[in-house]
Amino acid sequence: MSDTAKSMAATARAQIDPWVDDLTIGQVLSAAASRYPEREALVFPATGFRCTYAEYDRLVEQASRGLLSLGVRADDHVAVWATNWPQWPVLQLASARIGAVLVTVNPAYRPQELAYVLRQADVRALFLIDRFKTSDYFDMLRTACPELAESEPGQLESGRFPELRWVVSFTDRPDEGMITWEAMLRRGEEIEERLLRECSESLLPSDPINLQYTSGTTGFPKGALLSHRNLLLNAYHIGQGLRLTGEDRVCVPVPFYHCFGCVLGTLGTLVARATMLVPGEYFEPATTLECIERERATVIYGVPTMFIAQLEDTTFPERDLSSLRTGIMAGSTCPVEVMNRVIDDMGARGILVAYGLTEASPGVTISGVDDPVETRVETIGRPLPGVEVKVVDGEGNALPDGEQGELCTRGHNVMLGYYKMPEATAEAIDEEGWLHTGDLAVRDESGFYRITGRIKDMIIRGGENVYPREIEEILYTHPKIVEAQVVGVPDARLGEEICAWIKLQEGQSATEDEIRDFCRQRLAHFKVPRHMMFVEEFPETVTGKIQKFKMREEAVARLGLRPTKGA
């Protein structure tokens, strides 16, 4: 057998029998630290933080003991509300090592949104930074939980958040009622190694380990509960698609709170025993380009808007990006011209497109490095190994190639369910285990899938999922507004933007800036409507049901926007 044939056979065996199957996240880190102790694991160039796999393992062990010192145990919920700080992945792996469930909170959340997650997720300990840009996290937490200021650390009692006891600051300047990260680590020195070992050894790969909040079709955001196995197999198979090895250096400018960052980023690099490069605590095109150049990154992650920003950055022409070979572009539709420039100008010739959703851990399909560029742009690739995909009609019947229907998926990627939402879980996952994505798709005769639209009215703005009803609920609290509806409209840069249709109380007047300022105080910045239309009525059916598709069409026409194709 030739070397090439042997390599192909080994790859095929690996796809069928992933080495991470039946392991926990803590075991995967221990294995990496034991086998490659001196290899760089994490690099944060902006702060100068670097650590090898052996050091990473020690940091995670210290943090694991720290969590135990706070009384956190398996199945307890630990939330993190922060941008991309070095403590973030350490906390992620530390909570996994003792079996606590990490609840990832969007750094753009405002007090009302934070309060919803803390309460719905039964959070026991919250980890956070002090501020980011104009956002004062301590102040917002005081607004959501005023009892904290009067509490001793670890003794918080709040009727609104009955499970919450500890608040830990990543910074060395805690607010009232908090302790610092370093103080937690010092507390952990008193924890016996035996207790940590017993916690780790009691865990199963099927145990829940992550709670990711995602917008749905009804109600407020739902928490998708994901297991060790969900996340590790997804990270493994995506890494196999990229052909990641321990020699790769993966640039991860995407946020950790999102599946893209904390599955394909932190866990994807861990499973491959590669090096994760984090340019900064948030995305900046020049900083990302500098990281790629100076750290000799071989892989780059991002949503289309991130790649566009890098290509248009004034420093781009002078950059040496020759180290790049591949990457992932995901989150929204990829324009063919952007893909071509990433390949030709950035040099990432193996750049891939992936499709997924939080409820699928997140990957469902991925293109191949050898697929033609047109295929990588016009389709979302083929299913990951071990993942089934089908297209069904409204009755749930599988459709033949070429016919449009809802894309469904089944396999190791499907979430355990929505936390404390059995009815929503039953709506999303049918009796045969198929997760219904709400996306419309078509499969071609070669087995490639193409997204053609969405059943859900969710808006995807620059890779962020935005649920219209959440914005509508806020708009309805404005004293001048009698009715409000929100739809997505096409945007050349972000894929979609938010358009609010507003009907004012009789005799009232309001400006767009007035409504936006109202929203900014209550919603994350990416949920604030860019476009507004003050109307007297809404398009409705004869039974009075709002026709959002007509609203979108009229908004596109009235605003002079250019319709987009597909999803």
User: Domain-by-domain residue ranges, the chain?
Assistant: 459-559
**Residue 50 neighbours by CB under 8 Å, 6+ apart:** 40, 42, 43, 44
pLDDT at 460: 87
Q: How many other CB atoms sit within 10 Å of the CB of residue 504? A: 18
Expressed in percent and rounded to 5, the helix, strand and coil fractions of the chain are 35, 25, 40
Q: Please tell me the distance from the alpha carbon of residue 279 to that of residue 270, in angstroms, as a whole number.
A: 18
> How would you write 346-387 as a 3-class SS string?
HCCCEEEEEEECHHHCCEEEECCCCCCHHHHHHCCCEECCCE
CATH superfamily, domain 459-559, is: ANL, C-terminal domain (3.30.300.30)
Q: For residue 210, what are the β-bridge partners?
A: 102, 226
pLDDT at 317: 96
**pTM for this predicted structure:** 0.85
pLDDT at 543: 44
pLDDT at 12: 44
Q: In this structure, are residues 90 and 60 in contact, taking their beta carbons and an 8 Å threshold? A: yes
Q: Please tell me the distance from the alpha carbon of residue 89 to that of residue 49, in angstroms, as a whole number.
A: 13
The residue among 467, 446, 448 whose CA lies nearest residue 457 is 467
Q: Please tell me the distance from the alpha carbon of residue 171 to that of residue 179, in angstroms, as a whole number.
A: 10
**Residue 291 neighbours by CB under 8 Å, 6+ apart:** 45, 251, 253, 277, 278, 279, 280, 297
Kindly give the parts of the chain with pLDDT less than 50.
Answer: 1-14, 216-218, 542-543, 565-567
pLDDT at 473: 82
Q: Going along 228-357, which residue ranges are E strands?
A: 249-251, 275-277, 299-302, 326-329, 350-356
Q: In this structure, are residues 205 and 23 in contact, taking their beta carbons and an 8 Å threshold? A: yes
pLDDT at 5: 41
Q: In this structure, are residues 345 and 351 in contact, taking their beta carbons and an 8 Å threshold? A: no
Separation of first and last alpha carbons in the chain: 45
> How would you write 403-432 as a 3-class SS string?
CCEEEEEEECCCCCEECCCHHHHHHHECCC
